[in-house]
Structure 1
Amino acid sequence: MFNNFLRENKIAAALLTVLRIYLGYAWLTAGWGKITGGFDATGFLKGAAANPVAGPNGIVYGWYVSFLKAFAIPNAELFNVLIPWGEFLVGLGLILGCLTTAAMFFGLVMNFSFMLAGTVSHNPTDILMGFIILVAGVNAGKYGLDRYVLPFIRKAATKKEHQIQS
């Protein structure tokens, strides 16, 4: 019942619009601050690997520490681009309501990455709001560019499918 409300109701679409613009603004400004402020993830990545999330039985996310050491730290320059631009584009997508579900998915991936690295901050509330937007699907971008972009993508995909079948 709640899923139907989120996915189909016009009032829910309006509330989701406010929520996604709020969350989008937070993502956009965080990304822009990093883009214009000379962001360098190296220290954060090394710190997260050196001080992993630990519980009573040792390191909780050993696989994530391995990922940081084997891939993220050696490729810190890549992350210096991906993180700020990813945050900025997630924010832009949410504010404009353009590819909203995809933007929110990637926002959630980043939120979980930050949490796995041991940063709590506002990530839990962002994740909660993000899942609400993600569950709402198309309705979250109903009052945004998704209203025009998604039918265009569907039409192009259908046309491509017909070409493949021919």
Structure 2
Amino acid sequence: MATTESTLRSSLGGFTAEGKLHHLSVWFILALRLMMGVAFLQSGVDKVLSGSFGAAGYLQNSPPANGSPVADVFVAMGETPWFVDFVNVAVPWGEVLIGLGLIVGFLTRLAAFWGAFMMLLFYLGNWDVGHGYINGDFAYMLVFLSVAAFGAGRILGLDKAVEQYDVGGQPLVERYPWTRYLLG
């Protein structure tokens, strides 16, 4: 088993953080990607198959009841018919697509971004800070961001092959650098 050690280094706002990856890190990153993929796929499939998912009641009632600081925004969304119709499709099918993307490692950064965005909305809508500001929704948002940051789609995923796909004699990501924001 190869145990090549890699160093992570990043600077932000004048501060530099540095650390070494353990040789098992790749497996934990893959596990995070698959865990979130299965969780979202299962949640989305349950909603799609039940045929009874409806966001209006949640949007109008739950955030105000739990004291969300953005409750008025959620209520306004819940009182806008076209938006509720959109959410009624976007949430279940978004969960399915995010889940599938993560499981097969295709468009992983795009899937993880939308997963993190959904978890941010769930965090704000399910506002439960009785035991502190960090809850499951917040933690899942950070897991999605970690999956994106580590390029988890390159680990036994389709993104690795897609990035190297030959386009005019160059790998796709070299020819079109913007694709790095979607793949990996």
Whether the TM-score (by the shorter chain) exceeds 0.5 is yes
* Cα separation, 1, equivalents of 2:114 and 2:34: 16
Counterpart residue number, 1:141: 153
Deviations 1:24-76 (A, max 9, x none): 1000000010111121111111113532525xxxxxx2xx3333233343121
Counterpart residue number, 1:28: 41
Q: Which has the larger share of strand?
A: 2
Counterpart residue number, 1:93: 101
Aligned residues: 148
When the two structures are superposed, what TM-score results if normalisation uses the length of structure 2? 0.68
Q: 1:11 to 1:20 in 2, by over 3 A?
A: same
8 A contact 1:53–1:117 mirrored in 2: no
* Cα separation, 1, equivalents of 2:43 and 2:9: 30
8 A contact 1:53–1:118 mirrored in 2: no
Superposed, 1:2-151 pairs within 5 Å as 2=8, 11-38=24-51, 39-53=53-67, 61=69, 64-74=70-80, 75-118=83-126, 122-136=136-150, 138=151, 140-142=152-154, 143-151=156-164
Runs of 5+ consecutive residues of structure 2 not aligned to the other structure: 1-6, 11-17, 129-134, 166-171, 178-184
Deviations 1:50-107 (A, max 9, x none): 32525xxxxxx2xx33332333431211100010011111111110111111111110
* Cα separation, 2, equivalents of 1:88 and 1:110: 13
When the two structures are superposed, what TM-score results if normalisation uses the length of structure 1? 0.74
Q: Which has the larger share of helix?
A: 1
Runs of 5+ consecutive residues of structure 1 not aligned to the other structure: 55-60, 159-166
* Cα separation, 2, equivalents of 1:9 and 1:144: 21
8 A contact 1:90–1:103 mirrored in 2: yes
Q: 1:81 to 1:52 in 2, by over 3 A?
A: same
Q: What amino acid is aligned across from residue 33 of structure 1 in structure 2?
A: D
